[in-house]
Amino acid sequence: MLWLVYIAPMLLIWWWYARRRARKERHSRDVLHAAKASGLAEPVSLHPVIDPRQCVGCGACVAACPEQPHHHVLGLIEGKAQLVSPTDCIGHGACRTACPVGAITLVFGSEARGVDIPVLSPNFETNVPGLFIAGELGGMGLIRNALTQGRQAIEAIAKRRSRRPEVLDVAIVGAGPAGFSASLSCMALGLKYVTLEQESLGGCVFQYPRGKLVMTQPAELPIVGKVRLTQTSKEELLEFWQQIERKTGVKIRYRERVEKIERDGEEFVVHTTKGRHRAASVLLAIGRRGTPRKLEVPGEDLPKVVYRLIDPEQYTGRRVLVVGGGDSALEAAASIAEQPRARVALSYRGDAFGRAKPRNRERVEQARAGGRLDLVLESQVNRIEPESVTLVQKGRELEMPNDTVIVSAGGVLPSEFLRSIGVAIETKFGTA
Ligand SMILES: Cc1cc2nc3c(=O)[nH]c(=O)nc-3n(C[C@H](O)[C@H](O)[C@H](O)COP(=O)(O)OP(=O)(O)OC[C@H]3O[C@@H](n4cnc5c(N)ncnc54)[C@H](O)[C@@H]3O)c2cc1C
Ligand code: SF4
């Protein structure tokens, strides 16, 4: 009987472990099923591919994923690791490092969905001489990579300064981590530069949900030196960058969108929403999210007009017009309608939301039925004023009181922009 004293606790531990693993596996299956059902089964960019023949199911990759506290990116199903929520993967690559048997490869795109990656030389120059790319647009995501590449690209650009005093050495497009670090490098190296940003400092980081935990690695920032932040929040990181901006006096031209880039002899002419800039080199640090499509109506330049929903809670008690008929417009309208005292109108030029997922259509319908959302189909925005907005519906003008307009009318992908400048692009279907 003495053996029972030893065996019983072991059996108990084994039973507890098996139950826990089965529960996690059920959850992983549910997450994978939900991702497939909502059409979110294709990863956006760099992501892991797990070889099931090599995987021994130890779960080290699952535990190592820095996104795991918020998103269930990887999970174990039938004892093998799988990417269960592909669109939440941002390519940290910690899973590959953690895997003890080398079962993980990091790749771009998949068989079903190719990812366009510009062809770059080791110093970040494209096939168009003088046109450089840094950060996520070049294929490598993550803040640290973007900060490092922004600095390295400017070091290469510094070797081809402008010979004419009235021409800039470089025009930097984008003030996300790559463009910010590049701008600081220009200051450090004494280059004549302009940084053009269509929105605000921080790029993708500015768009993270409120309070998002940001995982990064120490990086070298020009002028500032080694930055040892590893785990921080979106707000702290932005505040840190804003402090650097104030202290160094680095100049960034906000709300100035680059619309066209042309070559003129050895130089570039960069056309923006506010004018033109002539430079010997151009550094594109525009990330991969593209440029939101504009409505092109009077009043669109008012600060109350935005092109993405970041945090529904900020619209508590506000009068909001959402414009668009795709999933992001419907999601934005439905989640704002859930906020206390918020009043939402959803304007779409079509007569039905044919392109949107059933789940989002249901949410909008529920909000409408509950009197929390007004649907204004077959309508277009005519003009925007500080306190109101005017729509035209079947030839009739509708003026409504308004605090914020969220335009979700799709966007122009960076690939189209790159092709228009003549940059060579390679489409990757699941290769490194
Ligand atoms: C939800 C989410 C969570 C993430 N979490 C992490 C994390 O925890 N840790 C981590 O390391 N990375 C994380 N990432 C990835 C990281 O944010 C990106 O890899 C990084 O921001 C890329 O920097 P970038 O400067 O190349 O591009 P971006 O940050 O995308 O910045 C590009 C900038 O260019 C501007 N721009 C674009 N087109 C134009 C134009 N035509 N004219 C003027 N300006 C233009 C944009 O407005 C933007 O400000 C996350 C990404 C997402 C989406
Ligand atoms: S770390 Fe490697 S072996 Fe372990 S579950 Fe993940 S892929 Fe499989």
For helices 143-157 and 177-189, what crossing angle results, to 10°? 40
Atom of ligand 1 nearest to the CA of 213: 8
Query: Do 130 and 266 form a contact (C-beta atoms < 8 A)?
Result: yes
Q: Is 77 close to ligand 2, i.e. is its CB under 6 Å away?
A: no
Can you tell me the mean pLDDT for 298-314?
A: 89
Give dist(CA 203, CA 192) in Å, integer. Answer: 23
Q: What DSSP character marks residue 294? A: P
220-269 confidence digits (pLDDT tens): 899 999 988 788 898 999 999 999 999 999 999 998 999 999 999 999 99
Q: What is the pTM of this model?
A: 0.81
Q: Is 99 close to ligand 2, i.e. is its CB under 6 Å away?
A: yes
119-155 confidence digits (pLDDT tens): 999 999 999 999 999 999 998 889 999 999 999 999 9
Atom of ligand 2 nearest to the CA of 58: 4
Atom of ligand 2 nearest to the CA of 76: 5
Query: Do 344 and 367 form a contact (C-beta atoms < 8 A)?
Result: yes
Q: Provide the pLDDT for residue 430.
A: 79
Nearest C-alpha neighbor of 210 from the set 136, 134, 139, 316: 316
Whose structure tokens read 């699941």? 430
Give dist(CA 167, CA 98) in Å, integer. Answer: 49
Can you tell me the mean pLDDT for 312-334?
A: 92
How many CB atoms neighbour CB 396 within 10 A?
Answer: 8
**Ligand 1: distance of its center to the CA of 148 in Å?**
14
**Ligand 2: distance of its center to the CA of 212 in Å?**
27
**Ligand 1: distance of its center to the CA of 57 in Å?**
33
Can you tell me the mean pLDDT for 308-332?
A: 91
Q: Is 93 close to ligand 1, i.e. is its CB under 6 Å away?
A: no
8-28 confidence digits (pLDDT tens): 888 888 888 888 888 999 999
The tokens for 171 are 């025009």
Using left for φ > 0, alpha for ψ between -120 and 50, and beta otherwise, residue 129 falls in beta
- DSSP output for 219-281: EEETTTEEE---EEEHHHHHHHHHHHHHHH----BTT--EEEEEEETTEEEEEESS-EEEEEE
The tokens for 339 are 């906020």
Report the amino acid identity of residue 38: S
Instruction: Inform me whether the pLDDT recorded for 336 exceeds 70.
Output: yes
Q: Provide the pLDDT for residue 81.
A: 97
